[in-house]
Amino acid sequence: MQAAATQLSPQQDLVGTVAAAEDVRSAIDDLCRLLLRDGAATGVEWWAPRHDGGVLVRELSAGDTSRARTAIQLGPAGTLVIAGDTVDELVTTIAGLRPFLRHRWSEEQLAEHASRLARKNEALADFAGLVAHDVRSSLVAALREEDPRAGVTRALDLVESILEAVRAEQAADGVANAADCLQQAIADLGECPAEIVATVTGDFPMPPDALRLVLRNLLANAVAADARQIHVSALAREDQRILVVDDDGVGLAAPGRYAGGAQLGLTLCRRLVERCNGVLELRPRAIRGTRALIIVAGAER
């Protein structure tokens, strides 16, 4: 005789759903869907802690949340708000998930912290390699000059630029005023033989120091390529923000010209942009010169 299937209680169903989830976010998503599906709640909200440890922010809202509301603390995972005629047994069951959610949350935070440390170690190795290569090249070039002092000064300036980049990268998040950063980058160049025309407005999703360094590098590269006019513009495309630096110089095909005029290397600039979830692209222009594009996701911060 075939045994009857075991019928799970709603409380067991909630626990099983949360336990089977891949991470805390998906666990709470599944929990909320289950509460709405079974009619245990007319609406749900999840208020989660910010990454910087600040006030809670609403990460999820579904259903009709205008009914009577009950807040259930989820430990470090935030607060779950249930709307409707919630029974005490359901509240007790969800509150009983706190130890599990706390354990999963701690595991995920540790994994994220380890990942950030790994990225920082990788960045330090990149910076060390760039410093060793570029400073050595500058000093070797200085030794070949009649007066090596200018070459030594360039090497010291290079070190200062890379230290600036390190400080910029430590600002993991931030939004820059694109026009202000461009004006600062132009001022950093000092006397410039090229005419710089700018049509840049609004914010750009990069830390200000990082954007200033990248723009300074691109402008210096254009000058090294004998550009007489440089045009900097900004545009938005779907969920992306883009800065475009066009020049009328000799272009990318001329060996060593475009990449030879900046203290901060293109490799380092690319890494700075990549760590802001963006890309730095170089393209030849149809007529003459080079087009550089800084493309960063423009999600709300």
What is the band of 169 on the pLDDT scale with cuts at 50, 70, 90?
low
pLDDT value for 266: 81
pLDDT value for 16: 75
What is the band of 290 on the pLDDT scale with cuts at 50, 70, 90?
very high
Give strand pairing partners of 79: 47, 73
Dihedral sign computed on CA atoms, order 11, 17, 20, 22: negative
CB 56 within 8 A of CB 49: yes
Find the helix packing angle between 98-143 and 24-37, rounded to 10°. 140
Does the pLDDT value for residue 76 go beyond 70?
Answer: yes
Give strand pairing partners of 43: 63, 83
pTM over 0.85: no
| 296: its two tokens | 């960063």
